[in-house]
Amino acid sequence: MLPVRADTASKFDCGRALIICGSERYIGAPFFASQAAVNSGCGLCYLSVPKEILPILGVKLNEPIFLPRGEIDLNAKYDACLIGCGLSRNQEAEDLTKNIVVNAKVPTVVDADSLYFLAQDVSMLKSAGNMRVLTPHEGEFKRFVPDFTRDRRVEFASNFAKENRCILVLKGANTVVSDVDGATFVNTTGNSGMAKGGSGDVLAGLIVSLIAQGMQPIDAAKAGVYIHGLAGDLAREEFGTLGMTPTDTLFMIKKALRNV
């Protein structure tokens, strides 16, 4: 399923991902998401963050191309988009989420704070300009489906994806991925050492990278979840369940991809 890169490929052939993440309070999220996109093969990663945190991320990140938040152009050439990681919950973030979810013409991963706004008006998905991949953890999913119970998570995930014509990545132990037709897949990699803030940002960046590189969104979701979990398993082997961090998982993506 993974992209096969031609020997003659340039960065322009390997996917352009637009990542809209971060706020003054959440500086780690855009780091995790954009570095995961780079580590999983994306040719060009455009990272849009508030100008106030640009100097900090400029020290932490080398590969992404920075876009101050006000300079997003949805008509520019992108192959995939991610919005939500650490975006915060203010009016600007809400307006931006609505604009991207409805108007982005490329497949878009919707995570974290953008899921909060989407849950308030899920009908936005019916107006979306392309496929949307939602990546909630179980607490976030309950905002969409209040009667959700974990013992019926496959059923709930399948029904939600089918009813809302989206791809759902329901995160947690044995993450569930559901396609628009209700077909559902259960992941076998990953461990409890990944239950730390930042792990979801890594996953979101991985998925958007694979979509940008040409994978179908459902395949990118399945492969991204598997590789993310495998990277976490490799981190656990080296650092242990308690000591491993999302940063360790992030930098094991390259090894996980090689192993796959």
- How many whole angstroms separate alpha carbon 220 and alpha carbon 194? 20
Within a domain: 179: no
What is the pLDDT confidence band of residue 75, given thresholds at 50, 70 and 90? Answer: confident
Strand ordering across the sheet containing 184-186: 65-68, 44-49, 16-20, 80-83, 108-110, 132-134, 167-170, 176-178, 184-186
Query: CA torsion sign, 22 to 25 to 29 to 35?
Result: positive
Within a domain: 118: yes
pLDDT digits over 11-57, tens only?
999 999 999 999 999 999 999 999 999 999 999 999 999 999 999 99
pTM: 0.97
Within a domain: 242: yes
Residue 182 token pair: 């209700």
Domain that holds residue 116: 13-145+195-259
- How many whole angstroms separate alpha carbon 2 and alpha carbon 6? 13
Query: Is the pLDDT score of 129 beyond 90?
Result: no
Within a domain: 6: no
Within a domain: 172: no
Buried b (16+ CB within 10 A) or exposed e, 219-253: bbbbbbbbbbbbbbbbbbeeeeeeebbbbbbbbbb
Q: Which DSSP state fits 54? A: H
Strands in 100-183 per DSSP E: 108-110, 132-134, 167-170, 176-178
- In the chain, how many domains are there? 1
Within a domain: 30: yes
